[in-house]
Amino acid sequence: MSVFTILALVGIVHVHHAPSHDSRAPFEDVIAAGHSAGLDFLVLTEHVPAGATGPLPAAERQGIYIREHDGHRLLVLVGGEFGTASGHLLGLDLKEIVAAEGRPGAEVIEAIHQQGGFAVIPHPFHYGGWQDWGAPFDGMEVHNNASSLIESLGPLIPWRLFRRAWGFDAAYRDLLRRPGRALRRWEALLQEGRKVVAFSGAEAHQNLNLLGWQLDPYEALFRAVQMHCPEDELLPDAVWALLRSGRCHIRYRIFDDRAPVTREVGFPSGRSELWFDHGRHVLEIRPPPSPR
């Protein structure tokens, strides 16, 4: 069994709720699920409407939320999901909306950088995928919950999940596989000398409801796969810096019980993974060591 790094701040990136066109879930559900899942932070990334200007959608939600009965603190950060001519793009640590519709992804990334923000490619091979791998993006989702379901279930996701309605965890454990294609692309970028940070995208909408069954509850998604980051202050600037630093791990918490049978597998870039079931599943995805 490998030695596990002790990490302190646990969070989720890529969350949608009612302001997005594809979710009607109230913000209160997001906060309640974040507290229940024991998160320290979560990042809202609402879809930015074409032609919109000014503050990011849900910008007013950023802040610390404290649960009354036990004082648990949850930091909400706000980014945005933009539609570019090269594919979807998450803009993080932004001050305001950037023009994206119809523009090449590289131009939108440069506009994000001009604001001091950073750009992450979500679901790189699904929902149209990403088309410009030479663009100066800062990170990519090597795991995305929706992509995992698409690869496992295809177009009949709601009905097939409904057949597993005895519980989300049981269904998801059965479906979740190591995201080999995205990991291979990340490894290739790292070997080219690119500094590309790996992200887990929750892709949480809480919008799959079939015959009264909620098939994608926020809390279950927030517990399943998480970003684990080194200890720091629970403040926006500190957490943004951690997320862009490349020092956070991706942890498949849904497989914590398999930790005793994992083995560590290293890659030429210096990154590593904790595998079980002969590499069909992964418990943890670790970045290359940070330069001193």
pLDDT in tens, the chain (292 residues): 344 454 689 999 999 998 777 778 899 999 999 999 999 999 999 999 999 999 999 999 999 999 999 999 999 999 999 999 999 999 999 999 999 999 999 999 999 999 999 999 999 998 899 999 999 999 999 999 887 776 666 555 555 555 555 566 777 887 789 999 999 999 999 999 999 999 999 988 775 666 566 567 889 899 999 999 999 999 999 999 999 999 999 999 999 999 999 999 999 999 999 999 999 999 999 999 976 4
Cβ(130)–Cβ(87) below 8 Å: yes
Q: Where are the domains of the chain?
A: 9-250
Predicted TM-score (pTM) of the model is: 0.91
Among 117, 25, 31, smallest CA distance to 75 is for: 31
Residue 229 CB partners (closer than 8 Å, separation 6+): 7, 8, 9, 10, 11, 239, 242, 243, 247, 248, 249
Tell me the HSE value of 98 on the side-chain side, using a 13 A CA sphere.
Answer: 32
Q: Beta strands 63-66 and 73-84: pairing type?
A: antiparallel
Q: What is the CATH number of domain 9-250?
A: 3.20.20.140
- CA–CA dist 278, 255 (Å, integer): 15
Among 271, 266, 249, 278, smallest CA distance to 178 is for: 278
- CA–CA dist 285, 263 (Å, integer): 12
Q: Beta strands 118-121 and 281-286: pairing type?
A: unpaired
